[in-house]
Chain A
Amino acid sequence: MNPLEVLKGGYSLLKGMKVTLKVFFSRPVTCQYPRATLPLSPRFRGHIKLKGDSCRACGLCQRVCPTGCIRIEAERVEGQKGRVLKAFWLDFTRCSHCGLCVEECPQGAIGFSQDYNLASFRKEDFVFELLSEYRSRA
């Protein structure tokens, strides 16, 4: 083993240690969740939600969804042309956040929410009924 090489090697190790020491005395970059949260971007894709009253229950979102997580229940109300939305079921255990339903809706009635705190112990808690959620929000 060449002693000069070992010395050079040792010097490179000391340079590495200098970097670690510098980091040791710097401020950590972590965020203390759940006591503090980081801001989400406005485009964050949580689960979808109804944005207004304009859903016509056409079922395009149901047809375009790759995993089949949307189920629309519609009914005919006399006096109104077309169908009216009765219930909008979203099975969130299958949603892949692709955004095809949001894109496809001709009325622009669905959008992404910013909800990410969705942990639960039961699978049933992840089947959302979006119409009642919209009504309780408004």
Chain B
Amino acid sequence: MSKKVFQHPAAQPGEPTGPTYWRSLEERNKSPEFLTRAEREFVEGASAITAVERREFLMLMGASFGLAGLGLAGCREPRNHTLPYAKQPEDTIPGIATYYASSFPGEFAHQPILVETHEHRPTKIEGNPSHRANGGASSKFAQASVLDMYDPDRAQASVSADGSVLTVAAVRSFVRGLAAAAQADAGAGLAFLARPSASPTRARLVAGLQAAYPKARWVEYAPVAQNRADAVLGARALPDYAKARRVLSLDRDFLGAHDGTVEDTRAYASARRADTAEQAEKMTRLYVVESTFSLTGAAADHRLRAASSHISGLAIIFAAEVLAQKGAAAAASLKGKVSGIDVDSKWVTECVADLVSAKGEALIVAGDHLSADAHRAVFLANQALGAAVRYVAAPAPSALTIAALAAKPAATLVILGGNPAYDGPADVNFLAAIKAARNVVRLGYHGPSFDETSAAVKAAGGTFLAASHYLESWSDGRTLAGVYVPVQPMIDPLFATVTELDVLAPFAGSDQEPSALVRATFNALSSDASDEAYAAWLAEGVLPGSAFVAATPAVGPAQIKAFAAPALSADALEVRLLPSVHAGDGLQANNGWLAEAPDPMSKTVWENVILISPKLAAKLAIEPSEMVINKIGALNRNINQLVAGRLLCRIATLTLGDKSVTGPLFIMPGMADYTVGLQLGFGRRIGGRIATRVPERLAGSLVGHGFDAYPLVAASAPAVRTGVRLTLTDATVPVGNMQDHWSMEGRDILREGNAEDLKKNQNFAKLGIDGHAPAVYGKDGAMAPAAKAITTPRGNSAYEHPNHSVAPNVAVWKGHEDKFPALQQWGMSIDLNTCTGCNACVTACQSENNIPVVGREQVLKGRNMHWIRLDRYFFDGRAAAGNAIPEDPQVTFMGVACQHCETAPCESVCPANATVHDDQGLNTMAYNRCIGTRYCANNCPYKVRRFNFLDYNKRVDGHFYEGPLGPAKAVKDPADLPQLQKNPDVSVRMRGVMEKCTYCVQRIQEAKIQAKVRARNSADINVRDGVIQVACQQACPAGAIEFGDITDPKSRVAQAKASTRSYGALTYLNTRPRTTYQAKLRNLNLRMPGANLVPLSRVEMDGRAAHGDAHGDAHGAKPHSK
């Protein structure tokens, strides 16, 4: 072993040398032994411990350890191994997150994402900004998907038919054997059932499979069809919401739950930004015709309630009206085809007139569940309008249906993903197909204990293959517009699992690994198949120029057949079956974040409800007394039976033929009169700890985690059923809900206006009650907020930290202000106009900030921990109607998190000084110092502080109340798996501690450190605008949230705050919130019936006694007019 030898250069002749010193005579004499010794770094033999010496050493050490540990061995902590990086992996710096591009698979479209990994452990999903249409935004489903990977109930091993555990190699050889066996009869007895997929590699393998086994059947099934129009038109419609100025949505919730919602929301929001009256008139006007109250309906400027089963006919009526106003000949015949629909004809003509007048910037979109004729009619209307929509050639869905598969069971059935035993149509006996098969193979994410299909397969003696999570897999996919995106593994599979591609490859005659399969697909799709291009694709996450090519559907008016609308009444109801806005169709039902994200409209959580209209409720006489709301206390009798703060819903049964569904009734404003809304995805019979329906302890109640609505799904009618009867029972059940109260009580918390308001007084948003009771600004009254933020004391913390640069207002530094560059001041602005209430921010915040899931029981007690609350208020506006539940209200969302008040009421009341202000304007929370008096939460007017009432992070849900006697999460307990998701940059809070939004202080700190590193010796340590993206801002598909330095007038947040629409909530309390809002604008068509010139929220505000005019000056100089 040679040591590195250091050679000191000898002095050159003439080089000046000082006096010569020497350590020994040997050195003075330059003896050879000395020279050798001096050149060596260590003395000879230092690195060589001989074998004998080592043994002696170990012996001695062992003996002393033994003695030291002898008496104590029994009470030592269990031994764990901490392994340092003996060799540091490339590109890994401990403590610094690494981001990889990937995509979140949807059945219809993939969502390009970036995955944040800490030491190669995925912790957070973010949108991929390289994909322009997403711009870095993401959906709540994508956000929540990372938790699925750490699902403690996920299948951890494949199990063969005889019950033995299969290794990955064994699984591969098993599948190869299956493929070989099927070759004999060209796959005649072979059938596959899979979820639809947007993966080109899977499509390629399926094509290979069908070529190799011509008689094999390939069936795709999804309980919620998303792309029905594709089949009807032979092309996919891509509406351009950014370009369209007038949009008519026929029961299509494009802002809600669709693959591609992120893109659509972003485009829609981009056309909804306006600050002046001119811009307000130009922004997109949204007309919505729908039966249930969706997010799109909430965003609508004009909303028409109609039964879903009638909307297919309405689509034809609207199309006929478009054609008529365009002077097309086919109009009359088209209109004559519809019968049985009673619609306000003025609504139709004025709406269409507005669309027609938009000249090429209008757009009609139709819901996927509408009839084929409706899609044809909408296509024709869009053609006539020259609408802002383009058509592309997208892959066709599979032709075979699950019904066909069940009708003729296969001998060998391979079920890839999905959960057809739970979500299959009720009129298809899929379980029989499983039982009939000789050989069933199931690739599933959850094993037989936690999944209906896996359980059925096990019962039938089939083989269970454990599936990998997409964050552990190689695959690929396409976005809505067809952009080719990768799915990359972030980590080796946590367990011995395989992917869909692993199973399909042998059938397609390939023995390649999924990574090689993806590479082959890439080579085929990319113009440049080089390694560099492939690496660039993986790094960037999108393949430029890979979108679908244009196509032209061929549809004529003659194809449209006559439509007779079914008659609806209280005895023959219509049921609209929807995927739950917060839990999807049930595949992600075991995800705690999604379960605890409230439904945006009903605010129910952890379960689903039967949504009925107030009119139907009145007919059923659900409320024992007259259904009015006590406006004074307002909680005596709220929107539903609210007893002692608990939502107690009556239980009802819906019956159709021999199928019935039982669940709690929830009276939902804005529903079509005889439509009943049912959310799918709940009531799993066999599911994981989150998904499973648990028996409620209270007597007379039925519902645990929701009820199963799939019994009403039919293969032919998956979304709308008619002729349903509703039977009311006397039993009630408490339903978890996160917002009890529907009304804003006429307070000016959120503010709305329209172009007219901006014309009259562009500062309309700044008035309201605050105008009457102006904010107390003290001596700095008129000063701009940004200036005030620097020059007047902020928050008055007890301490100025000596190591920080000092605010210039401190007396001792007067005259030296230049030596202290003013610190950046963080602030946020939330645009209520573009916010759609989609919950992406809520889930992103939960993911970023380690917010625990508290469970249904705790939600029922009002102890949810979300740092962001999406307040939803309904506005009725009818003064005479007063207290009745509104039938046709307006709705607005308002995201409320900690407002970071400059003079924060929470800070001065904390006796322990645990919540203090920092010098950049953050209201910070020192968890370690908090003793939990909860005074801060009481004194917060925005009620955004959340308290850890129980040990939510340490204890297992369901055992919170058992204290130390309850089961603790052990190190190897699978229940502890979700701990791996935790963000290492954020503390995990214990019980008894207050918490709240921190403005993602960990991200701010990271950016500040980077800025200081970049600044080197210069004074330019400011973080550039846009570098810090807080989690909610980053996820927001509407781009409604801006964050940054409010003292920099060029920053986006400063510009947002300079908007005329900008206002602070409850500023009359002199809280000086750093988070401000931009008022919502409605874009009215005054010719429409029921156009409310004054937004209903303001009607209520104005109607409140003596506090009138939002238009007036501070003291109501002029009388208000309605």
| Chains A and B are bound partners | no
